[in-house]
Structure 1
Amino acid sequence: MINEIYSNYGLHAAELIRMGIYEGFWIRNKVYILVPLLGRKEEELTEIKKLGDYMIAQGDMMVTTFVPNVHGYYVSKIQGKDYILVKCNRHGTRQWEGEGRELAYFHYRGKHFSEKVEQLNRIGQWKTLWETRLEQLERFWQSKVINHPNDSFDMLFVSSFPYFLGLTENAIQYIVDTELDDQPKAFDGATVCYQKYACHTMNEYQRVKVPFQWVYDHPGRDIAEWVRSALFTNKESTEIIRFLNEYEQVMPLSSFAWRLMYARLLFPLHYFEEVEGYYSVEDEGKKALRERKLQKIVDSAADHQRFLGGFYDMIQLPIGKLNIRKVEWL
């Protein structure tokens, strides 16, 4: 792979190292990251590059840029697969201000992108995407019930799905009610977000940001996913409160945003990911890992429900003043 990197880019990589979900290498003060194309369309690549270039122009110097190969193209064939190489200079001068503030700065920069986004656009689509995902999984669940499951994962899935179906329906209804009862404010415009943000996402490999991980969506997406990951990595409630306070010091959330964020917390994304992941892989080791994770999700469902039921109280949000309703059964 190192030899093919040299033949494609003329770069001498001493060694490849794991950088989050990617592989990459350092040359002096630059980090290079190999991003597999995974069938992305040209239109999507164009949007990814435009968003990355825009965020750099807005002052975010930790965003990677596309590196052309020796033939002047961005896509290279390495070990029979299509890759794009991206790079970023090492910048260690600016003081880190905490994850909440850093995410808010990131969202603030992304809010002023003026070109139309189509391939990466997710704003206003949560309800439709969740309904589609739920319908697909429900049909699969029904087929498993009819065929009488006999292995441990099938039985776990069949027995647990009705509860998570109900939780998903509540998340969808919460979005419907939000759109009926409230109006988006200036904060609620689309911005650059991550496909799946998590605790310490911005700390990975020296806080380098790879636009291939981005979508264009409501900022509540990233905030909710940070809280979800904080919950499942056993962070204290004080850490969640601090993160939210840090964020709001830069960009105060609207009542509409709080509602959308809570709807996303209600949606059991973690459950869907483990079930869908299990049935989409062949490797027995990976299947076993998915089963252990799903069992943990099912075992902790009561604790998770208590967290959701007490979330607004925990962060001391004045829901009466903001006219935000609780989900009564939680």
Structure 2
Amino acid sequence: MKNLLITYYGIQTEGTCFLDGAEGFIGNEYIYFIIPAGNKEAIHTEQLALCYYLFENNVNKMAVPVQNINGEFTTLFMGEEYIVVKMLPVDRESNRSHGQELARFHHIGSGYPYEPQDFSSYGQWKQLWINKLTAFEQKIDQDEALYQSPYHRKLSDLFPYIIGISENAIQYLQEAEYDNRFHESDQGTITYKRYTNQCNRDVMWHGNFMFDHPVRDLAEHIRYCILYQGEQGKDNVVEFLQDYQKERSLSVFSWRLLYARLLYPVHFFDLMEKGFASASYDSLLSSLVDLQHKQLRYEKFMGEFFERFDVDHKEWKIPVIDWLQ
């Protein structure tokens, strides 16, 4: 693959390394990665702008696409399309915790001077959630008539619960939107589509970014910890959010958004979305049953949510969902 870098990018390399499971080629004070383009669409201009903004504002783990000698971002090499990205060498000396790293990322992202047209969900959650729920209801109704696998029967039994908790979240969000107790940390910033601890990885890959409220990333990390880290996850999220707030405090409005997003069952929708594109129904059934069991622990966490983070929701006049208490 060195020949690709030399021939099409004019890059001489002097060594290799492995970061985040990928081979990197060291040269010109950067680390270069060669990524199969596969069936991916052409690199989107807005995603590219987000990446370069982060790269140029000292997010050193950001890997940005590089143009070849023809000014193109994809290169045909030995019958395959590739994308080359570059990043600065990794700084492993940071003393910042995970929460502080994410807060720094959001602080830098909040300085982005534009709101992308195609990658922004900022201020749009309610309508997006309604649209998603409506689309999934229609799809589940269609599949009921076509499929009779144990997975589809289980999903059909469980779906009324998913509808109910989704409607609770949408109603809660709608009321939260009228709360004017917000501050500068509530402005839009660069976030991830699905935050899965990327700030703790050695490389930040392009194509995974959104422009949204910073609570989006907080919620998805907390969701993961509670669902998949057992009792330890509850302690982890408390420490994580305490560290985050050392750098960026949460307003009352942010707490309400966080509660609403955690209430909305994104984890069930993500699993159902996989089911629409897969015929591995035995595996899907196992995952769905497992998620249903985990949801019991998740509900318990949501019932003690504000107490867990030492937020006096009564004093702050933050409502809660009664049936979770």
TM bucket (normalised to shorter chain) is: 0.7 to 0.9
2:151 alignment partner in structure 1? 153
Deviation at residue 24 of structure 1 after TM alignment: 4.5
Equivalences for 1:38-57 in 2 at 5 Å? 38-40=39-41, 45-57=44-56
Equivalences for 1:103-142 in 2 at 5 Å? 103-142=102-141
2:162 alignment partner in structure 1? 164
What's the RMSD between the two structures over aligned residues? 2.7
1:223 alignment partner in structure 2? 218
Aligned length: 319
**Distance between the aligned counterparts of 2:14 and 2:73, measured in 1?**
18
Equivalences for 1:287-306 in 2 at 5 Å? 287-306=281-300
Q: Tell me, what secondary structure is at the counterpart of 2:58?
A: coil
Q: Does 1:201 align with 2:202?
A: no
- Residue identity opposite 1:117 in structure 2: P
**Distance between the aligned counterparts of 1:120 and 1:249, measured in 2?**
28
Distance 1:80 1:316, change over 3 A: farther
Q: Tell me, what secondary structure is at the counterpart of 2:55?
A: helix
Q: Tell me, what secondary structure is at the counterpart of 2:323?
A: coil
Select 1:188's aligned residue among 186, 189, 194: 186
Q: Tell me, what secondary structure is at the counterpart of 2:211?
A: strand
Q: Contact 1:31 / 1:90 at 8 angstroms: preserved in 2?
A: no
**Distance between the aligned counterparts of 2:69 and 2:127, measured in 1?**
43
**Distance between the aligned counterparts of 2:190 and 2:214, measured in 1?**
8
Q: Does 1:322 align with 2:316?
A: yes
Q: Contact 1:220 / 1:257 at 8 angstroms: preserved in 2?
A: yes
Select 1:257's aligned residue among 243, 254, 258: 254
Deviation at residue 50 of structure 1 after TM alignment: 1.7
Deviation at residue 113 of structure 1 after TM alignment: 1.2
Aligned identity (percent) is: 27
Q: Contact 1:35 / 1:86 at 8 angstroms: preserved in 2?
A: no
**Distance between the aligned counterparts of 2:254 and 2:78, measured in 1?**
45
Distance 1:145 1:116, change over 3 A: closer
Q: Tell me, what secondary structure is at the counterpart of 2:114?
A: coil
- Residue identity opposite 2:166 in structure 1: T
- Residue identity opposite 2:104 in structure 1: Y
- Residue identity opposite 1:292 in structure 2: S
**Distance between the aligned counterparts of 1:315 and 1:123, measured in 2?**
25
Q: Does 1:73 align with 2:72?
A: yes
Distance 1:171 1:2, change over 3 A: farther
1:276 alignment partner in structure 2? 273
TM-score by length of 2: 0.88
TM-score by length of 1: 0.86
- Residue identity opposite 1:246 in structure 2: D
Q: Contact 1:38 / 1:82 at 8 angstroms: preserved in 2?
A: no
Q: Contact 1:64 / 1:211 at 8 angstroms: preserved in 2?
A: yes
**Distance between the aligned counterparts of 1:18 and 1:61, measured in 2?**
13
- Residue identity opposite 2:174 in structure 1: V
1:58 alignment partner in structure 2? 57
